[in-house]
Amino acid sequence: MKKIKFLGLLTAAALLASCSGDDDSVSRTDITLQSITLLPSLEENSQYEVWLTSGGEDISLGKFRSLSNGQTFSAASSSVENASSFKISLEPGNDPSADISNTVILSGSFNGNSADLTIANSIGNFSNASGIFTLWTPTDSDANNNQNGVYWLNPNNGNPQAGLNLPTLPAGWRYEGWVTVPNANNQSVNLSTGRFSSPTGRDETAAYSSQVNTAPQFPGEDFVNQSILGQLGFNLLPDLRLKKVFISVEPEPDNNYAEPFVIQPLINPRSTNSLYPTTQTMDLNTLSFPRGVVSR
């Protein structure tokens, strides 16, 4: 009986050695991130995850707080050879899920042995994006403080129309309006006008606005709530004339709701002194778009 048990143990050991040898002998191939731009290093509560799409399956190549030129990833050679695309997603820190999130920031299909990674393949095509806004405070009854608010709309002689032309974002992303103004300590502060999905509806917050009048059905904000603004270091209501006004694309959920994400498709770097009903135009800001190239 002891001899039989001993032979059984030898057989089991041989099988384990055989399986281990098979795993070790699987051919692997490197994929190289030849270039990557405008992907900031992330804080501990979020991370990038790199994916290879092969055989209809998204295969994780690892999670990283930052990505850099020349960085390499490894996968089974058969998966690399049959890969159709490459993706980079944003994932929560310590994410237990093995699945890719909705928040894919860059992706691209392989053409031969390389793939160009762009936001056009993952978030949207902004080639036709455009925008106008007007400095206006419609939610209060003060006719002399329009410099303290901004709305992305065309007044159109009292029949307002949408001021933004933007692509519909996929799940995992939202638009957000911003203005950059100095507080009482002369520190530049990015004030959010709120997040939104559609240019033809209100954004989701009105923290700084008055409650006297109903806000228009378009994204924007009156910065007239001094009690909240005071907590951000403002002794006076912020004057939005000659200030930076822009739209960002934000991950949802976001690891930092207080500051804008790097993707800012529309911008007016310095608004004019013109107030409602005069409109001001925004420029397409492709220089804010992350991009990359991978090779196999």
Give residue-wise pLDDT tens across range 279-292: 999 999 999 999 99
Read off the tokens for 195.
């997040």
3-state class of 218 per DSSP?
Answer: coil
| Confidence label for 1 from pLDDT (cuts 50, 70 and 90) | very low
Paired residues of 190 in beta bridges: 180
Q: How far apart are the C-alpha atoms of 54 and 224, rounded to whole Å?
A: 53
Closest CA to 264 of 249, 281, 282: 249
Closest CA to 282 of 175, 201, 182: 175
pLDDT for the residue numbered 3:
38
- The sign of the torsion formed by the CA atoms of 267, 272, 273, 274 equals negative
Q: How far apart are the C-alpha atoms of 114 and 117, rounded to whole Å?
A: 10
| Confidence label for 43 from pLDDT (cuts 50, 70 and 90) | confident
Q: How far apart are the C-alpha atoms of 181 and 69, rounded to whole Å?
A: 34
207: left (phi over 0), alpha (psi -120 to 50) or beta: alpha
Question: Is a pLDDT exceeding 80 seen at residue 19?
Answer: no
pLDDT for the residue numbered 114:
98
CA Rg, the chain, in Å? 26
pLDDT for the residue numbered 96:
86
> Which helix (DSSP H) or strand (DSSP E) does residue 15 occupy?
helix 2-25
Closest CA to 262 of 290, 292, 284, 243: 290
User: Of the given ranges (92-96, 124-128, 283-287), which has the lowest mean pLDDT?
Assistant: 92-96
- The sign of the torsion formed by the CA atoms of 197, 248, 168, 128 equals positive
The most distant pair of C-alpha atoms in the chain lies apart, rounded to whole Å, by 100
**48: burial class by Cβ within 10 Å (0-12, 13-18, 19+)?**
buried
Q: How far apart are the C-alpha atoms of 19 and 2, rounded to whole Å?
A: 26
Read off the tokens for 10.
């030898």
Specify the DSSP class assigned to residue 100. P
CA distances from 136 to 100, 141, 228 (A): 42, 12, 19
Place of tokens 């530049």: 188
**pTM, 2 dp:** 0.89
Q: How far apart are the C-alpha atoms of 194 and 211, rounded to whole Å?
A: 16
| Confidence label for 24 from pLDDT (cuts 50, 70 and 90) | low
